[in-house]
Amino acid sequence: MRTTYRFLMYILTLVFISGWAGCKPKPNGFDIRTGDILFRGAADANLSQAIDQVTQTGKATHFSHMGIAEVTPDGIYVLNSEPKHGVFRQPLDSFLHPDGEKSEVVAYRLKAPFRKFIPEAMKRAEQLLGQPYNYTYILPDTGYYCSEFVYTIFAPDSVFKLNPMTFKNPQTGQFDSTWVAHYQKLDIAVPEGKPGCNPNGMAASDKLERLGEVKINNVKATN
């Protein structure tokens, strides 16, 4: 009887340990997958803060940049468009640390009905690599700004939508001084009301689900 009891306790212990190990949460609670959309918080740069200032949709979103993840055998990369590089591919670590500084990056994933569009969208993204940055933020001027790039690769599937752009400070109702200076330099009028997109607005899409903050030391990749 004593031997039988010990054997049963041993089996139950193994079952418990196996079950706990199988349910142990991942460090981030999620894996990065190709097609996940990464939103980066506003940086100290004037233009970055100006983007967040006029596009913020709520206290939970303070994003001024975004890109799309690509998981490869060599690691995780982010395809995105920046003023310095235009449309390019960069390692996740570099995306998390622009100019060597850490920035909050939050991952979102398309909801299940829309994930079927990811493979073709990634093909379009590859084809746009090397395109310049669109400094006017006017569609369809040459080049792509960050959210325009992501919008464009999903445009044939109508995943995201355009909205009238605003460059006015929501507190004052006046054009933000950074934007006034930006368009004076370009010698064009501020394109208030023209169709466009921005990271905060796209993060609020009902077609996305929020995964959580991305940290280089505890993120896993899944194809």
Using CA atoms, how far apart are residues 214 and 223, in angstroms rounded to an integer? Answer: 17
- C-beta separation of 92 from 76 below 8 A: yes
Best CA proximity match to 38, nearest among 88, 73, 77: 77
Using CA atoms, how far apart are residues 122 and 78, in angstroms rounded to an integer? Answer: 11
Residue 28 falls inside a structural domain = no
pLDDT above 70 as % of the chain: 75
pLDDT band at residue 49 under the 50/70/90 scheme: low
Residue 131 falls inside a structural domain = yes
User: For position 96, what pLDDT does the model report?
Assistant: 93
pLDDT band at residue 30 under the 50/70/90 scheme: confident
- Burial category of 206 from C-beta neighbours within 10 Å (exposed 0-12, middle 13-18, buried 19 and up): exposed
Residue 25 falls inside a structural domain = no
Residue 171 falls inside a structural domain = yes
pLDDT of 129-143, one tens digit each?
Answer: 999 999 999 999 999
Residue 116 falls inside a structural domain = yes
Kindly tell me if the per-residue pLDDT of 27 is higher than 70. no
Residue 90 falls inside a structural domain = yes
Residue 130 falls inside a structural domain = yes
Over the chain, what is the mean pLDDT? 83
Residue of 29 and 197 predicted with greater confidence: 197
Residue 74 falls inside a structural domain = yes
pLDDT of 81-113, one tens digit each?
Answer: 999 999 999 999 999 998 877 789 999 999 999
Kindly report the CATH number assigned to the domain that includes residue 67: 3.90.1720.10
Kindly tell me if the per-residue pLDDT of 172 is higher than 50. yes
Kindly tell me if the per-residue pLDDT of 9 is higher than 50. no
90 is in which domain, residue-wise? 36-213
Domain count along the chain = 1
3-state secondary structure of 123: helix
pTM passes above 0.75 = yes
Q: Left if phi > 0, otherwise alpha if psi is -120 to 50, otherwise beta: which for 171?
A: alpha
User: For position 42, what pLDDT does the model report?
Assistant: 72
Section 54-63 average pLDDT: 58
